[in-house]
Amino acid sequence: METKKLSESLLQILVCPRDREPLERRGSFLVCPCGHDYPIVEEVPVFLLEDKEQTIAIAKESLTVARQFVQGTPPEDRFFTSTLGINAAEKKSGAR
Ligand SMILES: [Zn+2]
């Protein structure tokens, strides 16, 4: 599967969600001048904030998997289904 590269034009308009500072790519992260970092998973930046109360149940799992992914631990399946909030039976049947 080919992954498109995060474009320079998109990078120029993205800002840190905490302080609205510009972001710079450093390896598998977008980083702001204040040191906040956001993992990039398959060229998709993940802007979930671990220090904020999450409003959807899957956000914490999504952020955990994203951080593990950029640290070299891929998810159990390549479609990141653990971040979808469905159980094993639902995955197998395709029903919710
Ligand atoms: Zn920041």
Three-class SS of the chain: CCCCCCCHHHHHHCECCCCCCECEEECCEEECCCCCEEEEECCEECCCCCCCCCCCCHHHHHHHHHHHHHCCCCCCCCCCHHHCCCCHHHHHHCCC
Q: Which residues contact 31 (CB under 8 A, 6 or more apart)?
A: 23, 24, 25, 37, 38
pLDDT at 80: 83
User: In this predicted structure, what is the pLDDT of residue 95?
Assistant: 58
How far does residue 35's CA lie from ligand 1's centre (Å)? Answer: 6
User: What is the pLDDT at residue 92?
Assistant: 77
Neighbours of ion ligand 1 (CB under 5 A): 16, 18-19, 21, 32, 34, 36
Q: What is the pLDDT of residues 55-64, one digit of tens each?
A: 888 888 899 9
Give the residue ranges of the chain where pLDDT is below 50. Answer: none
Q: How far is the CA of 31 from the centre of ligand 1 (A)?
A: 7
Put the strands of the sheet holding 44-45 in their side by side order: 24-26, 29-31, 37-41, 44-45
pTM of the model: 0.76
Whole-number pLDDT of residue 96: 54
**Contact (Cβ atoms closer than 8 angstroms) between residue 30 and residue 14:** yes
